[in-house]
Amino acid sequence: MIKKLGVLLIMSAAVISGCNNSTMEPEEINPEIDVCEVCNMGLAHEHYATEVVTADGEVYKFDDIGCMDEFMEMEAHLKEENASKKYVRDVDTGEWVELEEAFHAYHPDFWTPMANGVVSFKDKESAENYVNEQGMGEVLDYESLENHEWSWEQ
């Protein structure tokens, strides 16, 4: 009986640790079941999706970078160093990019799921190309984005 209980405890620990995202890496989006943590809309436009991955393995998904920023304001403890990582997707490739390394094109008329007008890219050149192709907008780096006024703040 004790041997069976020990095996059960070991298996439970393995399952729990297997579910923990200790590397703080983003998860794939499943547009059929995933919904935004803030606005509760489905993540139908996967290339605009963002994620916050916490040190304790929680993954929060958003349909728009503005929803992620609003969530971070509500969950200020996640702003502490090493408490979480924030990810955006390169809109062209769908590749996950850490928010601090990404560049963004902004114009209020750029389409995004929640009309925040911020489109993310893996590099500055791609963001500049998008602005040039659209004939409007500006390129924002991480620091500029930190000072950006979101639609939900107005």
Tell me what pLDDT residue 151 has: 79
pTM of the model: 0.84
End-to-end CA separation in angstroms for the chain: 62
pLDDT score of 20: 55
Residue 132 CB contacts under 8 Å (≥ 6 apart), including other chains: none
Name the stretches of the chain with pLDDT < 50. 7-19
pLDDT at res. 154: 73
pLDDT given for residue 23 in this prediction:
87
| Coil, strand or helix at 53 | strand
Confidence (pLDDT) at 153: 80
Q: Check residue 106 and give its pLDDT.
A: 97
